[in-house]
Amino acid sequence: MGRNRLAYRLGIIVLGLALCWQSGAQPLPPFVPPEPDPWVPPHPVLGVHTRLTDESDPQKIRRTLSMVRAMGAVWVVEYFPWGYHEPQPGIFHWQHSDLVVSEAHRLGLKLIARVDYVPDWARPPNTNVKYLTAERWADFGRFLTAFATRYRGLVYGYVVWNEPNLAAEWGFRPPDPAEYAGLLRVAYEAIKQADPAARVALAGLAPTVERSARAMPDLDFLEAVYRAGGRDFFDAVAVHAYGGVRPPNDPPAPDRVNFARLELIRDIMVRNGDGAKPVWVTEAGWNDHPYWKGAVSPAARIDYTIRALEMAERNWPYVQVVAFWLFRLPRPARNFNDYFAFVAPDFTPRPIYYAVRAWALGE
């Protein structure tokens, strides 16, 4: 009996390996992170959105994260698309995320993972990659459980979806805060099942005053998430705090998009009993394109960025991280997006990199 049972188990293992090989998915060993090199940053609020999603070169991934730490930042926000990591149901591709997670851990960086992007198999034909119906929420939840299990204790927190108050980010459907609250609950429970210590953040909303089939004001959307019962299913609120052409101390107002609009988001949290939860600024900053109407001069960008960091440290104790969009693109966008970057695709630092490093490290 014992030999038969052993032979049966070995047969199951061999069959599983054969199926993985046939599907093209090589089984990966359990993830074992490297020993970290911890450090104490002088300004623990400073972070960047690294956008390594489409960077395929391992050496460039390592170089990017090393330059992030060298600049004095401790927080990294990175995008992990569901569709990239589970291209077929139950078939996971972890090589890229293994490298990003392990290298961030080795360098003592705190990693926040943003997760969305629906794989082809989980949505109807001819739909957008942000199109996810309630019938497929369980699939998304299973992916999040698998991800959080593999990286348990290594990912500080998760941001569930991106700007769901825009139709373009909600599968070209009208924004629906009640539906988002339902998705948030599924994601929260799936992540906590695998890694109870991981924090889960409500998605960063697009700062907008537009009210149409294309967009819903961020303030209204957040209020509606609370009304829909979403409060129990997030530990933090992610915020997108772009300054546009205005300085960081430009006063907030419901009909005005600026960096300090964050204070209005905070007011909604407090009114709904969430004053103890932190705010994560997962996208922020100014653009210094020479011709784009939404940009400022390179000198103004540096001035506004440093003042924004000082303002967050001095006036907003509830803000845990200010992560600027973005650190580096893997290749030129050849439009205004290149002028959000701190570092060029060839790793040449732009003036904003040197200025933030000088502030962060007291140079």
pLDDT at 16: 39
Does any domain span residue 19?
no
- Average pLDDT on 312-335 reads 98
Which CATH number does the domain housing residue 112 bear?
3.20.20.80
- Name every residue whose Cβ is closer than 8 Å to that of residue 8 and which is 6 or more positions away in sequence: none
State the pLDDT at residue 36: 87
What is the total count of domains within the chain? 1
> Above pLDDT 90, what percent of the chain?
89
pLDDT score of 37:
85
The residue among 200, 111, 210, 116 whose CA lies nearest residue 151 is 111
Residue 30 lies in a domain: no
271-274 long-range contacts (CB < 8 A, ≥24 apart) are 272/223, 272/226, 272/231, 273/231, 274/231, 274/237
- Quote the domain boundaries for residue 269: 42-361
Confidence band for 283, pLDDT divided at 50, 70 and 90: very high
Q: Can you list the alpha helix ranges (DSSP code H) found in the chain?
A: 2-23, 58-70, 82-85, 95-106, 137-150, 177-194, 218-227, 262-271, 298-315, 351-361
Quick check: is 36 in a domain? no
In a domain, 176, yes or no: yes
pLDDT of residue 27: 56
How confident is the model over 33-75, as pLDDT tens digits? Answer: 888 888 889 999 999 999 999 999 999 999 999 999 999 999 9
Least confident of 1-5, 41-45, 81-85, 273-277: 1-5
The reply to whether 296 falls in a domain is yes
Region 154-166: mean pLDDT is 98
pLDDT over threshold 60, residue 17: no
pLDDT at 291 over 50: yes
* Band of residue 19 on the pLDDT scale cut at 50, 70, 90: very low
For residues 342 and 71, the answer to whether their CB atoms sit within 8 Å is yes
pLDDT band at residue 333, thresholds of 50, 70 and 90?
very high
DSSP structure class, residue 27: P
Residue 331: inside a domain, yes or no?
yes
Above pLDDT 70, what percent of the chain? Answer: 92
Cα of 283 vs its chain's centroid, Å:
9
Query: Cα(363)–Cα(360) distance, rounded to whole angstroms?
Result: 8
User: What are 267's two structure tokens?
Assistant: 């007011």
Whether pLDDT at 101 is above 90: yes
Q: Is residue 35 part of a domain?
A: no
- 15 within a domain of the structure (yes/no): no
pLDDT band at 13, cuts 50/70/90? very low
Report which of 153, 152, 178, 156 is spatially closest to residue 165, judged by C-alpha positions.
Answer: 178
Q: What is the pTM of this model?
A: 0.92
